[in-house]
Amino acid sequence: MGDSRCDVISRERFDAVLLDMDGVLTDTASVHASAWKRMFDEFLRARAARSGEAFVPFDIESDYTRHVEGKPRYDGVRDFLRARGIVLPEGAPDDPPQAETVHGLGNRKDQLVNEVIAAEGVRVFPGSVPLLERLRAAGIKTAVVTSSQNRARVLEAAGLGALFDVAVDGHTLLERGLNGKPAPDMFLEAARALGVDPARAVVVEDAISGVEAGARGGFGLVVGVARKGNAAELASHGAQHVVADLSELLD
């Protein structure tokens, strides 16, 4: 990582790399997207049946990417409902998954994700472990920065927990009153916890909201991971370097 072969991330230029989890390190973004669709489609179908309006399903390509991906769970619920002109009570974090509230819908989505993880486990993308090991061997600190409140469960299932110096997740966001992505708060909190200047840190993200957060935070480099063939879109929202997999950052 620190030799002349790598001109993207080197120890000379950077002290830390801050990585998102779902869709960057682990193939859990697809699990989340499917859970969001199932939850919202069930809600929208029932709502349409009651009102007599047409059922317009949740679209992963547009709705998930624009309104939900990378954001804290309840922010994703709010933003999608707002886009559809739907107003629901906020409810409370302990609302049951059946409740038609912002928190209830978010909790239903979380329940669906946990069921899939428990049944199928977590797949790690090929380049994740080699990159993390190379970074740490080069003396570059690492942090996982995710809006997910399932971070510990996912990392444990993926066998990645020991490869990070710091973790900032959905629980951190709530405990410290941070703003979720696309605000840079979570990445800035990770840099603070690592004791590094944001200008000496790299942000690695696959979501539009994530690369926007990196661009707004004054970080030294924002890397987009275009697993959906969306390199141009990530670049237009703030990614300065785009790869298809983390293995491309190894050499």
Domains of the chain: 16-28+123-249 (3.40.50.1000), 30-120 (1.10.150)
Percent of all residues in the chain with a pLDDT value above 90, rounded to a whole number: 85
> What is the C-alpha separation between 120 and 31, in angstroms, rounded?
10
DSSP string, 35-63: HHHHHHHHHHHHHHHHH-PPP----IIII
Is 241 strand, coil or helix? strand
- The tens digit of pLDDT for each residue in 131-177 reads 999 999 999 999 999 998 889 989 998 999 999 999 999 999 999 99
**If you average pLDDT over residues 124-129, what whole number do you get?**
95
pLDDT at 7: 59
Residues near 149 by beta carbon (within 8 Å), at least 6 away in sequence:
73, 110, 169, 170, 171
7 is known as an active-site residue: no
Which one of 3, 7, 15, 20 is the catalytic residue?
20
165 is known as an active-site residue: no
**If you average pLDDT over residues 3-7, what whole number do you get?**
44
Q: Which pLDDT band holds residue 3 (cuts at 50, 70, 90)?
A: very low
- The tens digit of pLDDT for each residue in 41-88 reads 999 999 999 999 999 999 998 999 899 988 989 999 999 999 999 999
Is the Cβ–Cβ distance between 142 and 17 less than 8 Å? yes
Residue 247 burial (10 A CB sphere; 0-12, 13-18, 19+): middle
Answer whether 0.85 is exceeded by the pTM: no
> What is the C-alpha separation between 209 and 184, in angstroms, rounded?
10
Q: Give the 3-state DSSP-derived string for 131-193, with helices as H, strands as E and coil as C.
A: HHHHHHHCCCEEEEECCCCCHHHHHHHHCCHHHCCEEECHHHHHHHCCCCCCCCHHHHHHHHH
pLDDT at 160: 95
Which one of 15, 22, 169, 185 is the catalytic residue?
22
251, pLDDT greater than 80: no
pLDDT at 2: 41
120, pLDDT greater than 90: no
